[in-house]
Structure 1
Amino acid sequence: MAQADLRFLGVDPDDEALYRLLLRRGGFGHAEVSRHLAHEAQQGIEPQDVYRRLTSLGLATETPGGLLAPVSPAKAVEGLVERQVDRLRAQLEEEAITSGVVDSLLAEHEKSLADGSRPADIQSSVQHIEGMAAVRAVIDELTFFTRTESLTTSPTGVLSQDTIDHARVLDTRILRRGVHMRTLLASPALDDATTMSYARELTTKGAHVRISYQPLERLIICDRTAALTPIDPTHTSKGAILTRDPGLVAALVSLFERMWHTAHDLPVSEDADATSAAFASTMERQILQSLCTADKDETAARELGVAVRTYRKHVASVMQRLGASNRFQAALLARERGWV
């Protein structure tokens, strides 16, 4: 039977050959990589490039001693599958947004409001959504259509694991699209390890999280065009009020901004090293690596599985965070901080 390969999971045959060699050997260093490249007549490729490719694919890890060690086959394949699924999802979501289908569907929605063809109870720009299942369905829809900004608050501060599991899918979706996310957590979050872990996870993906010591109103605002507030703030399970009224949404945005400006930045973890790569998100590291390896934005975007527009937005964000005036300077500063 012919040997199966990993090309369908986005792995180049040369990289797969190295991974299989790693599995047979159990690991090797720069010298072994150099000999392998020479034997395979792969000119112009440095061992560090091989290290970077295999580790970025999740096929290997670099040990403290500088050796390249293989990731177990099951874990490696699982990671490759997730990578391809994430890439396909990002491409489909980007296409859904840029193709015009979103505007087309929203036009139908607006038309039905204008001609009064919808049932009386949902013609209003303010709707009552009863029950948590219905509220989550509305949140799913709102986040799918969110293009530029997501503002949320958590008045209790503490997030249950169930809430996090549901939110992670939605949050990852919009952050991957380059949406600007700001989240406010009440101060009890500081004493809850699960909540703080997720808050820091969000920041590594590009979100901005702050802690408030003042009372918070529960809000979800998307693109400053739609907002959700609870029907009963003391019993949120009863449901929510969805408003698209421009005046009401603007007032809620103003309320969020006041709460945001009185809040404090998320504290740095006690065991965090200010010079470690942990302060760069996975996407930021991939963007920085692409600046060093890809000659065109189109090539880099294709390799990362995102649209060119989204790629350039991430580049601008990384440059701003590093305080760099150009891409070359961004690469240098990133190396100084140990991000790449």
Structure 2
Amino acid sequence: MSLSAVGVTDEQVRLYRYFLRSPGRGAGAACASLGWDRDRVDEALDGLQAKDLVRLSDSATVLVSDPAVAVEWLIEQRLGELKAESDLVTSARQVIGSLSEDHRHGVEEAPAGEIERVDGLDSVRDRLGDLAFFTFRELMALVPGPWSEPDIEQARPSDLRMLRRGIRWRTVIGPEALADAATCAYLRELTALGGEVRYTELAIRRMVIWDRGVTMIPANPDDYQRATLIVRQPGVVANTVAWFEQVWEAAGALPAREAPDDPADPPLSDLERRVLDLLTRADKDESAAREMGVSLRTFRRYISDIMLRLGAANRFQAGLLAKERGWI
């Protein structure tokens, strides 16, 4: 086992072990036994003395400390340092209250009728992330149509962060969103983590509300990606909240997963399960191929076969469809 966690290098441990087994020896004997030069031994010996693991006698022999005492003392010393660091880090929480008060004051001081227009898909996504980050209590959304793969990738970190923080996350989807496999797979993933999703056949428009104080609606209802309006005017926001609650109450549960279209679709083989597992957790194809013990070309052919079986256009969709079918 290594003692690096308490500041002792592996080389120093090796020298310490030599002196434990060879009491009364000096640096010269260590050089001969370990095959090290004198500078290397002296450097490691200095480190051991600094940690009180050894000391030199008047006759220049090395006296070793009892490891049960010396190492335990190093552990206690390091734990004390870690506790001091932990206390310093957690003390940062004390400023959250005053910072939050400054933030709320800024929101209250903002013009009551403020309407912010955000143009461009990238800017819209950035503002969505910003508003989600500063959400404290609740998110409400109406989603009539499907999310694209980039939409899901962009939303995932914010959505997961909100659920981890205990923020209530509610979404109502329409028929077009329900018909999209990737969108449904993502929403079911979020419901498994505590999100709430309902389904309605009512004609709904895309809308997001944060903490019942800010709402985002498309500038053009037929093209939500080109430009959006962020509204903080209390009367407008109150009406959007009331509309959402009406839709939510009338909506039903998210329909259960449909059975595969082909009941004769054979179950996954062990090989396919292993490929899917690696596809979801391996950073690179090269490392996944090495773990499987196959060539990179063979591994990529396995992926192509699975994508073809799932009817997926890309790997991301393949992962979502595999989750939708309960394969992973």
Q: TM (normalized to structure 1)? A: 0.47
Q: Output the TM-score relative to the length of structure 2.
A: 0.48
| Structure of higher CA gyration radius | 2
